[in-house]
Amino acid sequence: MERLRVGFIGTGRKPERPGPQGFGMSHQHAQGYVDCADQCQIVACADIVPENAQAFARQWEIPATGVYTSAEDMLASERLDLVSIPVWPRLHRPLVLLAADAGVRGVFCEKPMADTWEASRDMAAECERRGVRLAFNHQRRFGRPFRTAKAILESGRIGRLVRVEFGTGNLYDYGSHSFDLSCYFAGEQAARWVIAQIDYRTERVVFGTHNENQAYALWQYPDGVYGVASTGEGADLIGCHNRLIGEEGEIEVGRRGKGMPVLRHRRFDGGGWEVADCGDEGVHGPGYVERAVADVVRALREDRETELCARNALHATELIFASWESSRRRARIDLPLQIDDNPLEAMVASGDLRPQPAARP
Ligand SMILES: NC(=O)c1ccc[n+]([C@@H]2O[C@H](COP(=O)([O-])OP(=O)(O)OC[C@H]3O[C@@H](n4cnc5c(N)ncnc54)[C@H](O)[C@@H]3O)[C@@H](O)[C@H]2O)c1
């Protein structure tokens, strides 16, 4: 079978210090494709900043003829099978649809899905209609601590799952991963309802999109499993990256605190905590994006769905926007979510929320 022809829309610039104004995720995607070079090859890239595209092409050995400043031109000329889209969330929908319209077979887009709930749904529906396999980079699913936690849950050690919890910085930028992991542990189901409150007093714009400072959210899946999230100052309440509570025990991934193991579990009937070996893997890596890319490539070659598929990403994304909608409406939100916009951005635009500029570091 011929190797997949891969192109990039958005090459970024490898930053000295990755941060909310530029992370250079493109380079992590590229490493993933290079790691499975027997199945695919990066043949082209496009970036509106020519120097970014040229530097990326030099680093990843893309021929000069494959370097573009227009995604449209690249898509028209290169007969691509798979396109990586590591750009900021506001651009995800237009660029995903551009690639889908050009006839690619697969798209691997960065998280969070999009800047509005409508854009998230629309991308998924349009790609489904065109037979384009659309996936999002919730790469932590491929990390050993998370994989092992799921295996321990499935072994029955903590009994039937009752609750999933997470604590992190925000519900959207990082929370996209956290909700995705919650849905992964809970069996890839859409939630039934969510009730949440947020606080947004200091401006926090990450990759061009507002993020709340603090939130508390409670949701429930159709099988009765609850979810709890606490972000910002209240993340300490949870005290770890993810917790799985069962009828007979619990599992903690990424417990905060010096010297804490990345994964531990215990039964409530005694015996204390047991530590699970995760090698040198933590909650962020190494190697998770590369594994995500490998799964997307393999799935496309085998014409099957990756677990990073848009359907699974929608479960997480709905919880983000529904949490913000709950705060806007001061009510529990029954799902499916019936809004189109981004409630946090809408509340900032209307003046209902007036975050003060952040102090410069
Ligand atoms: N999965 C993760 O763990 C993780 C970590 C960090 C960031 N991210 C996500 O990665 C995404 C990309 O963020 P980043 O900071 O890496 O990006 P970046 O700023 O490093 O690069 C984005 C590039 O897109 C280019 N661009 C903009 N519009 C374009 C267009 N129309 N056509 C072609 N190129 C265009 C820009 O010129 C820039 O070079 C964001 O959605 C962010 O949330 C994910």
Residues 232, 217: Cα–Cα separation, whole Å = 12
Q: Say what the pLDDT of residue 14 is.
A: 82
Residue 234's domain comprises 141-283+316-350
Q: Is residue 107 part of a domain?
A: yes
Are residue 59 and residue 147 in the same domain, yes or no?
A: no
**Distance from the CA of 171 to the center of ligand 1, in angstroms?**
19
**Distance from the CA of 11 to the center of ligand 1, in angstroms?**
7
Are residue 296 and residue 275 in the same domain, yes or no?
A: no
Q: Say what the pLDDT of residue 21 is.
A: 81
Cα radius of gyration (the chain): 20
Are residue 25 and residue 104 in the same domain, yes or no?
A: yes
Are residue 115 and residue 170 in the same domain, yes or no?
A: no
Are residue 75 and residue 222 in the same domain, yes or no?
A: no
Q: Residue 94 CA: which ligand 1 atom is closest?
A: 31
State which amino acid sits at residue 151: A
Q: Nearest CA to 277 among 138, 152, 140?
A: 152
Mutation probe of ligand 1 site: the residue of 14, 25, 27, 320 with most atoms within 8 A of C-beta:
25
Q: Say what the pLDDT of residue 361 is.
A: 60
**Distance from the CA of 78 to the center of ligand 1, in angstroms?**
22
Regions of the chain short of the pLDDT cut 50: none
Q: What is the DSSP letter of 20?
A: T
Q: Is residue 228 part of a domain?
A: yes
Q: What is the DSSP letter of 15?
A: -
Q: Is residue 321 part of a domain?
A: yes
Are residue 120 and residue 34 in the same domain, yes or no?
A: yes
| DSSP 3-state of 357 | coil
- Lining ligand 1 with CB less than 6 A are 9-13, 22-25, 46-49, 52, 71, 86-89, 91, 110-111, 137, 139, 173, 207
Q: Say what the pLDDT of residue 40 is.
A: 98
**Distance from the CA of 12 to the center of ligand 1, in angstroms?**
6
Q: Residue 24 CA: which ligand 1 atom is closest?
A: 20
Q: What CATH number does the domain containing 96 carry?
A: 3.40.50.720
Are residue 227 and residue 296 in the same domain, yes or no?
A: no
Total domains present in the chain: 2
Residues 351, 228: Cα–Cα separation, whole Å = 28
Are residue 86 and residue 135 in the same domain, yes or no?
A: yes
Are residue 162 and residue 270 in the same domain, yes or no?
A: yes
**Distance from the CA of 110 to the center of ligand 1, in angstroms?**
8
Protein residue with its CA nearest to atom 41 in ligand 1: 88
Q: What CATH number does the domain containing 196 carry?
A: 3.30.360.10
Q: Is residue 176 part of a domain?
A: yes
Protein residue with its CA nearest to atom 12 in ligand 1: 87
Residues 17, 204: Cα–Cα separation, whole Å = 18
**pTM here?**
0.97
**Distance from the CA of 118 to the center of ligand 1, in angstroms?**
21
Task: Count how many residues are written for the chain.
Answer: 361
Are residue 197 and residue 345 in the same domain, yes or no?
A: yes
Q: Is residue 361 part of a domain?
A: no
Q: Say what the pLDDT of residue 18 is.
A: 80
Residues 73, 136: Cα–Cα separation, whole Å = 24
Are residue 340 and residue 207 in the same domain, yes or no?
A: yes
Mutation probe of ligand 1 site: the residue of 9, 23, 28, 168 with most atoms within 8 A of C-beta:
23
Residues 97, 75: Cα–Cα separation, whole Å = 12
Q: Is residue 358 part of a domain?
A: no
The residues near 174 (Cβ < 8 Å, ≥ 6 apart) are 168
Are residue 109 and residue 22 in the same domain, yes or no?
A: yes
Question: b/e per residue, 152-185, with b = 16+ CB within 10 A?
Answer: bbeeebbeebebbbbbbbbbbbbbbbbbbbbbbb
Q: Say what the pLDDT of residue 178 is.
A: 98
**Distance from the CA of 157 to the center of ligand 1, in angstroms?**
41
